[in-house]
Amino acid sequence: MPILTVRLTEEEERLLARRSRRAGMKKASFVRKLICEQPFETAADVLADAARRMGDARLRVRRAEPRNA
């Protein structure tokens, strides 16, 4: 499963905490909900979204290492 790492400023962190508390969720769950709100119907939609985020130094995506069971 890919892992998305987002670097937030202190103000962004406070805003995220406040919004997640209002929603009655943990911050990670709230972020997942926000990410899933925008459905992708075609590969072109995915590419357009990626192009908007390209170069944002706060985002990093990597593949998670498989866990040995």
Q: Which amino acid is at 40?
A: F
pLDDT surpassing 90 at residue 20: yes
Query: Strand runs (DSSP E) across the chain, as ranges?
Result: 2-6, 59-63
pLDDT surpassing 80 at residue 62: no
H-helix or E-strand containing 43? helix 43-53
Taking the alpha carbons at both ends of the chain, their separation in whole angstroms is 15
Q: Where are the domains of the chain?
A: 2-63
- Greater confidence, 25 or 47? 25
- pLDDT at position 69 is 53
- pLDDT at position 67 is 65
pLDDT surpassing 90 at residue 21: yes
The reported pTM is 0.53
**What phi-psi label fits residue 27: left (phi over 0), alpha (psi between -120 and 50 degrees) or beta?**
alpha
Confidence grade of residue 8 (pLDDT, cut at 50, 70, 90): confident
